[in-house]
Structure 1
Amino acid sequence: MDARPVLEVVNLRTEFRTAAGVVTAVDDVSFSVGRGQIMGLVGESGSGKSMTGYSIMGLIDAPGRIVGGNLRLNGQELLGLDAEAMRRIRGDRIAMIFQDPMMTLNPVLKIVTQMTEAVLAHHDVGMRAAREMARDALARVGIAAPDERLEAYPHQFSGGMRQRVAIAIALLNKPDLIICDEPTTALDVTTQNQILYEMQTLCRESGSALVWITHDLAVVAGLADTVAVMYAGQLVEQGSVQQVLDAPRHPYTRALIASAPSRNPRGQPLAQINGMAPSPLDLPSGCRFRDRCPRASDVCANPPPLDVDADGHAWRCFHPHLDEQERDDG
């Protein structure tokens, strides 16, 4: 069995050159995801998590561009591939599921047309075989009467059903890597839980690696194997779900967990993180969280190093929470 990670992201840097200046959306981001593994990429809006996903997919348009780093899929470098080579990989070996399923679905085409086109674009098979693959994919994501549903249009589906179709299209070609950009945010809790369970099962069965982009730590806790926390374009903490959620080292991760409504005592005001995330056009020197951090000191004006313990738990902080007693005492 190939022991290499399915996805290796090394020192990725993505910039947007605007009239107001250079926006660094993704700054020195590194992580890897193995076969059948699910990684949660977590952060507030504007943290750079979606841009990381688009960078991996090769979907950064001008004035944006990837200016540094490496992106490897099963050992193959993706950066530097021409548009045609990347198109062959996208949708076949790498697939993306968006928050809005209508970014995937064409409202004027039947589902069968959209799904068979996705098969025929990457596989030399006949229409009958392509339709059978489409039917099986719909059944796999829990859509009843898939033969009938193939003949329907997107507007004839509920939001949850449309998202299931988008997931089925992403899974059609059995990709090595799936990137999900908050695909269950707009769905009700019951539908969300069903889709999360199905995605987890499908990844385990198929061996696909999954990067789940979200702001919801509760989703990550029940879905992922590993977690990477982003803030202002940088990864500030990463490790297993147990390491990061049960014993967070970085003050931002800790504050993010404390601000979850489920953590809040009944009748008490919701915990908040003071201040606002910095503008990507005007990032502070040193630690980017220091203006909002209760632990900040003069040393935080310098860029914090990335520390990694013997168990692979990593954090970027001069004043981390290093033991459980300290965390409990808060």
Structure 2
Amino acid sequence: MDDRHSGAPVLAVENLRTEFITREGRVRAVDDVSFSLAAGEILGLVGESGSGKSMTGYSIMGLVDAPGQVTGGSIRLNGRELRGLPEGGMRQLRGDRIAMIFQDPMMTLNPVLRIDTQMIEAVLAHHRVGRERAREMARDALARVGLADPEEKLLAYPHQFSGGMRQRVAIAIALLNRPDVIICDEPTTALDVTTQNQILYEMQTLCRESGSALIWISHDLAVVAGLADRIAVMYAGQLVESGSVDAVLDHARHPYTRGLIASSPSRNARGAPLAQIAGSTPSPLAWPSGCRFRDRCPRATDICATAPDTDHEGGHAWRCFHPVFEDAGDDCHDCGDRDDREEAP
């Protein structure tokens, strides 16, 4: 699926495929994923656990460990192909032109080193500047993410910070060299709502000011709705729908996207049980043939046993034989009326 939007892409992912060879068989964790990202743009990559969204981020960063490997497709950063780039070349780009913020900030921070040591080294690894200049850059980065008294924070160790403060430091490190692309893997999931909202606002502001493009990986549509410019929905290793926030949330075409929206507590009447998507995500060792959502989809017909093509409506794209054209703001429980499936568009 390929989103069309204005602006030269700073990141272009085409037909990305990542596989794991296990004793049980071949696992295709990411399968034929395509999207592009312009400078300063924020893309929300959403889906259930196991949908492949985090693995997509790791694949772009070149952080897929054996027995996994990127086996197909193209990843271009400012026109430069990253797939097949030697580890030394990727190491030069990571933390400089492309950075990742993890759900657990301790995947970024070394617990036995002071913050200034870690941040200064992150600068010196990519820039020929003196240590004093590197320290100034580190202090400025901490101030940009809203940490009070950044000079004092530079002298602290990670264990002296709260979870929210550690995550802010991890974000500051990612922003140090003003990368072209930042990938955020649910970095606010473990934080309280107030801290989460502060970090979301700061990330949005920093991207607008610096021009960095952002991929925000999340299972929370509400978070993505307030942050992103576009949304891409993943299911079973594939993108099933993508488009602007308004297009995807207000006019969702794919039954899976509509199921995610309907399961949001804000979409249910007070006291009413939450809407649910029937069944569970299939095993990646045995993806269904054709449309991977068909075993859970109330609109599925025989044709869904073959792989659907991607349809477009402007910048809105979906991968479905039977897209839904009612307003997603309406009650969508009737979208699963099996008596009308054969007439579905």
TM-score calculated relative to the size of structure 1:
0.98
Residue type of the alignment partner of 2:318: W
Equivalent residue in structure 2 for 1:182, among 164, 167, 186: 186
Query: 1:19 matched to which residue of 2?
Result: 23
| Aligned counterparts, 1:166-245, within 5 A | 166-245=170-249
- What do residues 87-120 of structure 1 show as CA deviations (whole Å, max 9, x unaligned)? 0001100000000000000111100000001001
- What do residues 44-74 of structure 1 show as CA deviations (whole Å, max 9, x unaligned)? 0000000000000000111101111000001
Return the offset for 1:264: 1.5
CA distance in 2, matches of 1:292, 1:158: 41
CA distance in 1, matches of 2:116, 2:213: 26
Percent of aligned pairs with the same residue? 76
CA distance in 1, matches of 2:42, 2:238: 20
Contact 2:250 2:329 in 1 (8 A): no
CA distance in 2, matches of 1:145, 1:65: 43
Query: 2:339 matched to which residue of 1?
Result: none
Contact 2:183 2:215 in 1 (8 A): yes
1:301 has 2:305 as partner: yes
- What do residues 207-262 of structure 1 show as CA deviations (whole Å, max 9, x unaligned)? 00000000000011100000000000000000000000111000000000100112
1:42 has 2:21 as partner: no
Contact 1:14 1:67 in 2 (8 A): yes
Residue type of the alignment partner of 1:276: S
RMSD: 1.2
Equivalent residue in structure 2 for 1:249, among 241, 249, 253: 253
Shifted more, 75-84 versus 228-237: the winner is: 75-84
Aligned pair in 2 of structure 1 residues 20, 32: CA closer, same or farther (>3 Å)?
Answer: same
Which runs of no fewer than 5 residues in structure 2 stay unpaired?
1-5, 335-345
Q: What is the number of residues matched between the two proteins?
A: 328
* 4+ runs deviating over 6 angstroms: none
Query: 2:317 matched to which residue of 1?
Result: 314
| Aligned counterparts, 1:84-95, within 5 A | 84-95=88-99
- SS at the partner of 1:324? coil
Return the offset for 1:323: 3.5
Query: 2:340 matched to which residue of 1?
Result: none
Query: 1:281 matched to which residue of 2?
Result: 285
Residue type of the alignment partner of 1:39: L
CA distance in 1, matches of 2:72, 2:330: 36
- What do residues 273-311 of structure 1 show as CA deviations (whole Å, max 9, x unaligned)? 1101000001111111011111111111111111111x1
- What do residues 185-222 of structure 1 show as CA deviations (whole Å, max 9, x unaligned)? 00000000000000000000000000000000001110
Contact 1:4 1:75 in 2 (8 A): no
CA distance in 1, matches of 2:25, 2:96: 36
- What do residues 128-166 of structure 1 show as CA deviations (whole Å, max 9, x unaligned)? 001000000000000000000100000110000000000
1:66 has 2:63 as partner: no
Query: 1:117 matched to which residue of 2?
Result: 121
Return the offset for 1:324: 2.4
CA distance in 2, matches of 1:325, 1:44: 19
- SS at the partner of 1:205? helix
Query: 1:323 matched to which residue of 2?
Result: 326
CA distance in 2, matches of 1:247, 1:42: 16
Query: 1:150 matched to which residue of 2?
Result: 154
Return the offset for 1:125: 0.7
TM-score calculated relative to the size of structure 2:
0.93
Return the offset for 1:326: 10
Return the offset for 1:328: 4.4
Contact 2:258 2:328 in 1 (8 A): no
CA distance in 1, matches of 2:91, 2:266: 42
Contact 2:250 2:328 in 1 (8 A): no
Query: 2:82 matched to which residue of 1?
Result: 78
